């Protein structure tokens, strides 16, 4: 599974870029991550997208809009750690350690992200938290599996590398938006 995460800020032509990314055969979902955005700003972005795209969108904030728009899923994080009451769609979660991955095992999550795997492209000074050997060993122990997606410094060119380490896919931020 390949997921692209939006930039934290809005920009002209963003909805068109989201559609371009979703048209790629290797991109499954786009996570809308706008941590400082108000509800109305997120509504404007969703309204600028065709209804056909909604089944490929996941919200990091304003989870109630996932119900209103019939989106694919919601993503749990430090700002929004609890699932939306009555939500029956996809649920994913951010994790930043192998311990967090293990603690989330029994939650009914479709997938989790683990970061940072490589030095970040989009966050200056955000360095890899794991060695390749640690990640391969975590996979051997069953900690990293098909439900864990690599995040942090992952580029489209490194997808095969993260799959070889045992991840179920990747979440891409910086590489997807380099020209924006």
pLDDT in tens, 75-111: 999 899 998 888 999 999 999 999 999 999 888 899 9
Are the beta carbons of 101 and 148 closer than 8 angstroms?
Answer: yes
Q: Is the per-residue pLDDT at 150 higher than 60?
A: yes
CA–CA gap between residue 2 and residue 12 (Å, rounded): 24
* Interval 20-43: pLDDT, tens: 999 999 999 999 999 999 999 999
Domains, in order of start, for the chain: 2-177 (3.20.20.70)
CA–CA gap between residue 39 and residue 59 (Å, rounded): 11
pLDDT-based confidence at residue 123 (cuts at 50, 70, 90) = low
For the ranges 61-70, 114-123, 147-156, the lowest mean pLDDT is seen at 114-123
pLDDT of residue 138: 97
pLDDT of residue 125: 72
Are the beta carbons of 61 and 37 closer than 8 angstroms?
Answer: yes
- The CA–CA distances, whole Å, from 16 to 46, 48, 50, 53, 176 equal 12, 9, 10, 11, 13
């Amino acid at each position: 599974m390949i997921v692209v995460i939006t930039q934290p800020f809005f920009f002209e032509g963003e909805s068109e870029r989201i559609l371009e990314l979703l048209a790629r055969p290797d991109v499954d979902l786009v996570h809308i991550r706008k941590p400082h955005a108000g509800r109305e700003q997120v509504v404007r972005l969703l309204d600028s997208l065709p209804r056909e795209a909604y089944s490929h969108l996941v919200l990091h904030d304003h989870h109630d809009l996932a119900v209103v728009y019939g989106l694919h899923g919601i993503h749990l994080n430090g700002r929004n750690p609890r699932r939306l009451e009555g939500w029956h769609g996809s649920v994913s979660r951010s994790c930043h350690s192998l311990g967090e991955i293990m603690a989330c095992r029994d939650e009914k999550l479709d997938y989790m992200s683990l970061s940072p795997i490589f030095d970040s492209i989009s966050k200056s000074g955000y360095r890899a938290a794991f060695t390749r050997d640690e990640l391969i060993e975590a996979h051997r122990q069953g900690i990293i599996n098909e439900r864990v997606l690599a995040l942090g410094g992952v580029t489209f060119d490194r997808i095969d590398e993260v799959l070889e380490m045992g991840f179920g896919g990747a979440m891409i931020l910086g590489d997807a938006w380099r020209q924006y």
